Amino acid sequence: MIGTFANRLSMITDELLAQAEGAAEQGSAQAGAVGTEAGTEAAAEGAGAAAEGTEAAAQGTEAAAEGTEQAAAAIEGAIADPINDTSVLTPMVDNVWLPDDVSVTAANVDWLFYGLLGLSLFCFVGITVAVVYFTIKYRARPGHKAEPSASHNDALETTWTIIPAIVCVFLFLFGWRGYVDMRTPPKHALEVYVTAQMWNWNFTYPNGINDTVLHVPVDRSVRLVMKSQDVIHSFFVPGFRIKQDVLPNRYTETWFKATRPGVYRMFCTEYCGKDHSMMKTMVKVHPPGGYEAYLEKKADRPVSAEYGEEIYGIRCVACHTVDGTRRVGPSFKELVMGNERSMADGSKIPVDENYIRESILNPMKDIVEGYPPSMPSFEGQLSDKEILSLIQYIKSLNP
């Protein structure tokens, strides 16, 4: 009886142990599945985060590339209005008295300027302090006799003669060296021909391209050969520290070597008539490769009204409007193809392509009634492509 019960108990125990082991194995399998699922999910989340990080990095790289392209475009882009558009100018704020020096000869000018300024301040302060001191010390007072005036002092006279002479000789030598450097262009410098006339500038490049904005490469010497078609003008770029008169009936020259890409203001600094203040443009210093790309792009530009509008903004906007209002010259809005224009001599001329071309190249031939004969000739300054583009733009104003 007891043996049977013991056998029965042993069988039950073995069965329970087997069930327990099965449950344990099942629990382990379930736990492993849950762990695997959790690990897989965590891995998937990690992969997703990595993908998001990669995408963010790619977006950052793309944004940086766009920023670089925009910065390059700021230098390489066309200047729509070289007279009034100051948004494209490179900031020049580093120095207190002068704009940043961006040419190889500017440092000599700055050093001499600051040296003379410092010497002048030293003399002014020293003399003022001495005058005030002696005025107080030797003022007339009761009980004090007047000091006798010195009639001669060899040491003092020698000192105030020799020291200023040495200073003047030093300033002369330093200034002369800088002047010779600025007046002697290096060999094989890039030559650009400059034509000044009331009231604009024209720059002709070695391949024959004309522009009213001066384009030059960075870190390359540029020699400017200049002439005037009417009165005396003066070429001045503050950032380069160069200024040279431009004269009629003769050539003058100057040179520079720009050291920093950017867009810099250029002025006429010789009064040349009513619109003298409008005779300004810009110098665009291209980074490496940019100057050559500009010439290639300029040469391949097709005839179009859009190109003509750019030429109008550069060449014509100072004297002509496009909305019918009067300025120095007639509005382009009045140039309707087929209509007749009344001339100052009483004749009438039909408006067509030949009339517009003749008015650009020989403006003194036919003067429009009610307007002064003040327009300069653009012969040799505008190519046939530019003239045709300007004609297309004028046509587009009255479709």
pLDDT in tens, 201-223: 889 888 888 888 999 999 999 99
What domains can you pick out in the chain, each with its CATH number? 190-298 (2.60.40.420), 305-397 (1.10.760.10)
More confident position, 58 or 5: 58
pLDDT at residue 313 tops 90: no
Least confident range from 87-91, 223-227, 243-247, 342-346: namely 87-91
Structure tokens at 83: 């007279």
More confident position, 87 or 257: 257
Least confident range from 35-39, 127-131, 183-187, 268-272: namely 35-39
Tell me the average pLDDT of the chain: 78
pLDDT at residue 70 tops 80: no
For residue range 114-148, what is the model confidence (pLDDT) as tens digits? 889 999 999 999 999 999 999 998 888 887 787 77
Side chain identity at 224, as an amino acid letter?
L
- State mean pLDDT over 375-388: 83
More confident position, 30 or 170: 170
* Coil/strand/helix, residue 263: strand
Which residues touch 284 (CB under 8 Å, ≥6 apart)?
75, 79, 213, 214, 215, 216, 262, 263
Instruction: Read off the pLDDT band of 84 (50, 70, 90).
Output: low
More confident position, 42 or 257: 257
Q: What percent of the chain is modeled with pLDDT above 90?
A: 27
CB 248 within 8 A of CB 229: yes
Instruction: Read off the pLDDT band of 41 (50, 70, 90).
Output: low
Structure tokens at 156: 């003092």
Q: C-alpha distances in angstroms, 18 versus 22, 23, 27, 31, 155?
A: 6, 9, 14, 20, 125
pLDDT at residue number 27: 42
Strands (DSSP E) contained in the chain are 190-197, 200-204, 210-211, 214-217, 221-228, 233-237, 242-246, 252-257, 262-268, 280-286, 340-342, 348-350
CB 265 within 8 A of CB 282: yes
pLDDT at residue number 5: 38
- State mean pLDDT over 371-390: 84
pLDDT at residue number 155: 87
Q: C-alpha distances in angstroms, 337 versus 86, 124, 225, 341, 348?
A: 35, 69, 40, 10, 14
More confident position, 33 or 103: 103
